[in-house]
Structure 1
Amino acid sequence: MAVFDPATARSRRLRLAVVALVALAAVATAGAFAADPSESVPEPVRFDDAVQLGLSSETDALMAGDATLPRVQVFYSQLQYVVGYNGVVSFVDSRRDGRTERQFGYPLVAYVETFDHRDPGTTESGLFSATGAGGWTPVGDARYVVGSDAQGPSGEVVVPFRDREAAAAFAADHGGSVVGWEAVRTRSFDVDSAATVRSLAPERWRTATERLAAAERRADRPVSVVVGEDAPTIDAAVAAAPPNTTVRVPPGTYEETVTVNRSVTIAGAGAGGERGDAGATRVVGNGTGSVITVRAPDVALTGMRIAGTGNRTRDPDAARESRDPEGGTWDTNIQLGYGHGDAGVKAVGAPGLVVDDVAVDTDASGLLLREGSHATATGLLVDGTDEWQDGFMGVTGMESRVTVTDSRFEGGRDGIYLHRADGSVVRNSTFVDNRYGTHLMYTGDALVADNAFRNELFAGVTVMTRPAGNAIVGNDVRNSSAGIQASGTRTYIGYNTLVGNELGFSTSARGSLYEHNVVVDNELGARATTVVPSSRVVANDFVGNDDHADAGAGALRVWADGDRGNYWEGANVGPRAAGDRAYRPTSPVDGALHRHPSAVAVRESPAARLLDRLRGTVPGARSGSIMDPVPAAEPYHPDRIDAVTGANADDGPVRGDWRSAHGGAGNASVTPSVRPTATAEGAE
């Protein structure tokens, strides 16, 4: 019986890679000039057939109706896809640093959508609008109105026209000036980007701190009713309490369900230890429905342990009743189905909810928020089911913004699930043995920061659909299927520590920035997943991974920013000076350098050097590959690497000091397990 030896298998793959290099060099040389792309000029395609950049799903909804954005479609010399840009500014911005041409080749032809006979104008909110179908004009032949009052979701809109007269007429009505393409492509535009999200992340942290302070003030009310003295039950005490007062609940077990229809604080004696103690306040339901239901604004729940929830995780009847004759939408059905399950605390139309020092033992959700029940949660502990299929979410937020800090979520389906909960903040919390730790759907402008994720079945942080403007920073994810998988646009993923996962992170978000992440001892450090690369990946440390990175189908991905690349363990072995040779983690040879230093002999071979020269002229030699032209000579964050690999390494969270790096060190909430780290310079 054959025994699998990883070292032998890798050596065999390395030998095969040498043969492949020689064979590929021969094929590439024979076919390098087989076709001349200049022999014909491609015609415009249907924009829906292009690979589109520049819009999120939330922007799609915002732009529904008359609002629109001028579009550009570009045929690149070394890309088999037509790239569609939503917004002229998006196309201009993509060409500033030369990365696009390095990855896609030069533009064979670019067409812009023109608006001569489409009644161009603006909506009541100032968004650019037009009617009917537009034509496509080569970008160099069009005339553009810049500086008008027409806006898009991310800033200024440049409006193209085929004829100068039509452009002048629009400028007369909406301001601005008429210019040619040369003036547009060299113009600087003030638009939102992933770098903008990076700069806003510390402010989001401060905003969360302000929300928590305001919540503490709301919860601090004079006592009006004491359960057991002035009323026999918590429910009766709430009914008797005047608004803006406190119902005090002494230690003990209260077997009841509670409905809160007025703005009061319900203050228990504390949640107690892991399962409560003699001094704790316990509220135990009858095993059906939710234990505490809140239907009033500015309610506070403090110092209690909740158990006895029902096990209904969703309400299929609510989803069915909502459907229109065409069957409704997936989005609507999820909101209605997920938002009508059982929970320890369920809030319906109850903004300003405060949850502090509350523990929930549940077979369904811990805290369920819907219909604008914006909430803060501090010291929330949710203990879910052992098998994720049997339970539900620690926090379910449906169209309800949540601010969570210093909390813990163990077991169940997702630690925190947010659906259309823009502006939420999840920080300084711990997630263990969930399906997903933090799971965002249609949720943008959120901050997920300084959390610890352990043993997550699918991923630590997952962002699905295409939201915009999320910041995922300073998190520590270990021993999970994936560390961070975030889709959307303008996402900032920085200063995370990703250790011992099957996958560290994927570059699923478009127009985004991945920087200063420490990616150590994963089976795969990073995966490039978008067909058309439009994000920056820079100043990350890749150490000890089985494979540092791989890429799906698509153009060459250039992971660097100017003269700054990433640190790749093994990239600088060999006779050349550090950083003097590009590193390709997707190459069988380069990818083996940190495991087999002897592979440097293959890397310096004539066949390998020939392939280096041919890359960029032969599309087949570039597809599905990653290149770092300036790999760093030393790690950017050696202290964080030592903290997870050194003799004193343990499971405690290691967090990058992202707030100091970006001017937001104030108002910190630091837990004892946080290890201070040195700060490296930003990506720009």
Structure 2
Amino acid sequence: MTRFDPYGDLPRALRIALVALLLVAAVATAGAFAADPEATAPSPAAYDDVVELGLSSETDALMAGSARVPRTQVFYSQLQYVVGYNGVESFAATLDDGRTERQFGYPIAAYVETFDGARPGTIETGLFAAESAGEWTPAAEATYVVGSDARSPAGETVVPFRERGAAEAFAADHGGRAVDWETVRSRSFDTDSAATVRAMAPERWAGADGRIAAAERRADRPVSVVVGEDAPTIEAAVAAAPANTTVVVPPGTYEETLTVNESVTIAGEDAQISGDGDGSVITVRAPDVALTGLAVDGSGGQTRDPEAAREGRADDGGVNGSDDGEVWDTNIQLGYGHGDAGIRAIGAPGLVVDDVTVEANASGLLLREGSHAVVRDLRVDGADSWQDGFMGIAGMGSRVTVTDSAFEGGRDGIYLHRADGSVVRNSTFTDNRYGTHLMYTGDALIADNAFRNELFGGITVMTRPSGNAIVGNDVRNSSAGVQASGTRTYVGYNTLVGNELGFSTSSRGSLYERNVAANNELGARATTVVPSSRIVANDFVGNADHATAGAGALRVWADGDRGNYWEGANVGVHEPGERAYRPTAPVDAALHREVAAVAVRESPAVALLDRLRGTVPGARSGSIIDPAPAAEPYSPDRIDAALDPDAGPVRADWRAELGDGSGESDEDAAMNAHDRNATSGGIGPRPQRSDRTTVPTVEGATASIRGVSDA
């Protein structure tokens, strides 16, 4: 095979780049010898100033009042940020995973929150609680209670104490035993992680199947009233119908608005219900109502109710006024949840909406106050300009299961706010601001949907979510494909084509795998300041830039010897996968666009810079490295389908590959075990490491942490 000659004739631009790299190498080398390491250990920082990882402290609904998650803060040798771990086990799990030390350096000092004088205990739900925050104690000097009845939102929690006597007293009251730091590191904990979310995605799909089947049975009721025969209007028919019966609405247009206060099915046959342009057309205030076979239009155009928000803040006694986030949350719930809609449900759990079309002036379907709903075959046509419309579905404090539906135009196709456990699947979203937009919503499944021409993004998840699974979606020609914040998110098997951004890695302690990012302006963006997620087995093809990274530590995008596929990464004189690939480096980033860039890559200057990375902190900031780039794509068939302009949405067979929850492949088991130990979950056994690089310790501070780390 003919190899590219790296020292042949170079284009002028690349010759200039080579000279520039030589200068950079010289400057970086000088800086390497000018560093003056600190001689003393740093003192604990205010926790508000750290960058948080591990179990999210943002599970605010669970952690209200005195419930707490014991915290750890760590100073690393090559990281300018103090890292805070919510959950002692979260930090312990990182010490021997290899990736953390490569990205952050070794821990200079670590402190744990100890609760000797804080009257520690548990609340009724079993969550660990204390009357006040703890004091900071060096991790190696603390005593820990393991195996007690104290829990965190993610599972068993380790409770630290400064004095052994305090730890033993807590264990006497709550079970467990007092151990030292080395014993904590050797234990395995049953905690939640991105691996758990990955494994549960097929189960969530199956759970949605069950809810849909139950909704079908619930909607199938005997006929009691026929509009036009037994009652003159739909509202009169509903008022006359006994509970658990069906009101039949024959074909025709019915100009009325109605309120449903009884558990009935309203079954239309090509029936159009048209409101008068003021308020909502159908308001449901009873449980187990079913609406089928209807077309709805003529709602008012009010998208939110500022007066409701003002009254809500006045009624809370000023509690929310102490926290800007709570004020904003209240405003969203009370404002967004009180606008007009084609169908509005208030305190109406068990709602079924099937085979319904809504022409929306504001929201299509508005759910609030626990109006948990199953929605199938709903079509919402929103405003041409998103500023003029509102949500296709707005779920406020209401879990929703949506399948086989379509949302076009308007603000957001589906907006969910504190709607934990929702499922959105097999649906299409076109010309929205956001396709699916989640706020404060966790444990959701967003799967097998198609998004087109979304102005701000296809799938966007914001504000303190945890445990979401975003799987098998196809997003094209949008501002962004997938942007998910929070913790423990699983983003897998998505196809992201022709967007400004394919996906961002903004969810902490998460797993991004088997995604295809093709022909985007930017394939992926690393956005968290301190990386804690795993990005592996993704395919990057035809992007203007494969990946970029914001400020922060070096991001290692691989899992051991398994990395991602980067088009252009294996160009050159090396065997495929033999040389690391840095999508954020100027030369590597150009390899898939300009093959001549390989000459600069093989130059002595670049080789020197490669050696400097990892020893000079400044050379690591804002960068990504894949030490094991794949030689071939992981999903070639999906890439071919994604690049075919005549192909429809690409469907990945992710449920078959992830399993049905009854078992897992050897590869799945290995990946899940890695997740539990390295992402944000439990602690597994620590193998002896003979390849550890010897590094200097900080006198009086580092030896205890490093000594345990080497055990």
Q: TM-score range by the shorter chain?
A: over 0.9
The structure 2 residue matched to 1:660, chosen from 656, 679, 696, is: 656
- 2:291 is equivalent to residue 295 of structure 1: no
For the Cα contact (< 8 Å) 2:199–2:661, is it kept in 1?
A: no
Counterpart residue number, 2:401: 403
Counterpart residue number, 1:84: 84
- CA distance in 2 between partners of 1:12 and 1:497 (Å): 37
- CA distance in 2 between partners of 1:180 and 1:681 (Å): 30
- CA distance in 1 between partners of 2:528 and 2:286 (Å): 44
For the Cα contact (< 8 Å) 1:538–1:683, is it kept in 2?
A: no
Counterpart residue number, 1:483: 481
Give the AA of the match of 2:377.
Answer: G
Measured against aligned partners, the alpha-carbon deviations of 1:146-167 in whole angstroms (never above 9, x if no partner) come to: 1111111101111111222222
Counterpart residue number, 1:44: 44
Counterpart residue number, 1:66: 66
- CA distance in 2 between partners of 1:500 and 1:618 (Å): 36
SS of 2:236's partner is: helix
Q: 1:218 to 1:231 in 2, by over 3 A?
A: same
- CA distance in 2 between partners of 1:537 and 1:160 (Å): 32
Measured against aligned partners, the alpha-carbon deviations of 1:376-434 in whole angstroms (never above 9, x if no partner) come to: 11000000000000000000000000000000000000000000000000000000000
SS of 1:565's partner is: coil
Measured against aligned partners, the alpha-carbon deviations of 1:54-107 in whole angstroms (never above 9, x if no partner) come to: 243651342222111211111101100010111101111233421110100111
- CA distance in 1 between partners of 2:142 and 2:34 (Å): 34
Deviation of 1:473 after TM superposition, in Å, equals 0.2
Larger mean Cα displacement after TM superposition, 445-454 or 44-53: 44-53
Counterpart residue number, 2:272: 282
For the Cα contact (< 8 Å) 2:56–2:86, is it kept in 1?
A: no
Deviation of 1:17 after TM superposition, in Å, equals 3.8
Question: 5 Å matches for 1:578-597?
Answer: 578-597=576-595
Counterpart residue number, 1:259: 259
Deviation of 1:41 after TM superposition, in Å, equals 1.2
For the Cα contact (< 8 Å) 1:144–1:178, is it kept in 2?
A: yes
- CA distance in 1 between partners of 2:187 and 2:111 (Å): 19
For the Cα contact (< 8 Å) 2:464–2:485, is it kept in 1?
A: yes
- CA distance in 1 between partners of 2:668 and 2:145 (Å): 41
Q: 1:586 to 1:121 in 2, by over 3 A?
A: same
For the Cα contact (< 8 Å) 1:454–1:479, is it kept in 2?
A: yes
- CA distance in 1 between partners of 2:670 and 2:289 (Å): 42
Give the AA of the match of 2:641.
Answer: A
- CA distance in 2 between partners of 1:245 and 1:12 (Å): 80
Counterpart residue number, 1:209: 209
Give the AA of the match of 2:120.
Answer: P
Question: 5 Å matches for 1:220-259?
Answer: 220-259=220-259
Counterpart residue number, 1:276: none
SS of 2:59's partner is: helix
Give the AA of the match of 1:313.
Answer: T
SS of 1:160's partner is: strand
For the Cα contact (< 8 Å) 2:59–2:464, is it kept in 1?
A: no
Counterpart residue number, 2:646: 650
- CA distance in 2 between partners of 1:583 and 1:330 (Å): 43
Unaligned runs of 5+ in 1: 1-10, 270-279, 667-678
Larger mean Cα displacement after TM superposition, 599-608 or 23-32: 23-32
Counterpart residue number, 2:685: none
- CA distance in 1 between partners of 2:248 and 2:58 (Å): 43
Q: 1:97 to 1:204 in 2, by over 3 A?
A: same
For the Cα contact (< 8 Å) 1:309–1:362, is it kept in 2?
A: yes
- CA distance in 2 between partners of 1:118 and 1:665 (Å): 42
Q: 1:12 to 1:132 in 2, by over 3 A?
A: farther
Question: 5 Å matches for 1:536-575?
Answer: 536-575=534-573
For the Cα contact (< 8 Å) 1:287–1:311, is it kept in 2?
A: yes
Measured against aligned partners, the alpha-carbon deviations of 1:312-357 in whole angstroms (never above 9, x if no partner) come to: 1111111111113657511011111111111110001100000000
Give the AA of the match of 2:627.
Answer: P
- CA distance in 2 between partners of 1:128 and 1:200 (Å): 26
Counterpart residue number, 1:5: none
- CA distance in 2 between partners of 1:142 and 1:87 (Å): 15
- 2:500 is equivalent to residue 498 of structure 1: no
Give the AA of the match of 2:437.
Answer: H
SS of 1:268's partner is: strand
SS of 2:586's partner is: coil
- CA distance in 1 between partners of 2:615 and 2:337 (Å): 54
- CA distance in 2 between partners of 1:639 and 1:176 (Å): 52
- 2:185 is equivalent to residue 189 of structure 1: no
- CA distance in 2 between partners of 1:14 and 1:330 (Å): 51
Q: 1:303 to 1:575 in 2, by over 3 A?
A: same
Q: 1:15 to 1:314 in 2, by over 3 A?
A: farther
Give the AA of the match of 2:198.
Answer: R
- CA distance in 2 between partners of 1:145 and 1:36 (Å): 39
For the Cα contact (< 8 Å) 1:644–1:650, is it kept in 2?
A: no
- CA distance in 2 between partners of 1:358 and 1:58 (Å): 37
Give the AA of the match of 1:249.
Answer: V
- CA distance in 2 between partners of 1:439 and 1:242 (Å): 38
Q: 1:622 to 1:58 in 2, by over 3 A?
A: closer
Counterpart residue number, 1:94: 94
Deviation of 1:18 after TM superposition, in Å, equals 2.5
- 2:318 is equivalent to residue 320 of structure 1: no
Larger mean Cα displacement after TM superposition, 155-164 or 53-62: 53-62
Q: 1:414 to 1:48 in 2, by over 3 A?
A: same
- CA distance in 2 between partners of 1:123 and 1:12 (Å): 70
Larger mean Cα displacement after TM superposition, 248-257 or 51-60: 51-60
For the Cα contact (< 8 Å) 1:57–1:467, is it kept in 2?
A: no
Give the AA of the match of 1:654.
Answer: V
Total equivalences in the alignment? 651
SS of 1:94's partner is: coil
SS of 2:364's partner is: strand
Counterpart residue number, 1:674: none
- CA distance in 1 between partners of 2:95 and 2:183 (Å): 14
Q: 1:14 to 1:237 in 2, by over 3 A?
A: farther
Deviation of 1:15 after TM superposition, in Å, equals 5.2
Counterpart residue number, 2:108: 108
For the Cα contact (< 8 Å) 1:661–1:682, is it kept in 2?
A: no
For the Cα contact (< 8 Å) 1:57–1:442, is it kept in 2?
A: no
Counterpart residue number, 2:511: 513
Counterpart residue number, 1:621: 619
SS of 2:117's partner is: coil
Measured against aligned partners, the alpha-carbon deviations of 1:434-463 in whole angstroms (never above 9, x if no partner) come to: 000000000000000000000000000000
- CA distance in 2 between partners of 1:198 and 1:366 (Å): 32
Give the AA of the match of 1:661.
Answer: E
Give the AA of the match of 2:215.
Answer: A
SS of 1:65's partner is: coil
Q: 1:43 to 1:360 in 2, by over 3 A?
A: same
Measured against aligned partners, the alpha-carbon deviations of 1:347-380 in whole angstroms (never above 9, x if no partner) come to: 0110000000000011111000001000011000
For the Cα contact (< 8 Å) 2:55–2:90, is it kept in 1?
A: no
Larger mean Cα displacement after TM superposition, 134-143 or 335-344: 134-143
Q: CA RMSD in A?
A: 1.7
Greater RCO (CA < 8 Å, at least 6 residues apart): 2
Deviation of 1:14 after TM superposition, in Å, equals 4.9
The structure 1 residue matched to 2:372, chosen from 356, 371, 374, is: 374
For the Cα contact (< 8 Å) 2:360–2:383, is it kept in 1?
A: yes
The structure 1 residue matched to 2:458, chosen from 442, 457, 460, is: 460
SS of 1:66's partner is: coil
Counterpart residue number, 2:8: none
Give the AA of the match of 1:28.
Answer: A
TM-score, with length taken from structure 1: 0.93
- CA distance in 2 between partners of 1:607 and 1:282 (Å): 72
Larger mean Cα displacement after TM superposition, 607-616 or 432-441: 607-616
For the Cα contact (< 8 Å) 1:37–1:77, is it kept in 2?
A: no
- CA distance in 1 between partners of 2:458 and 2:669 (Å): 26
Counterpart residue number, 1:308: 298
For the Cα contact (< 8 Å) 2:264–2:289, is it kept in 1?
A: yes
Deviation of 1:683 after TM superposition, in Å, equals 4.6
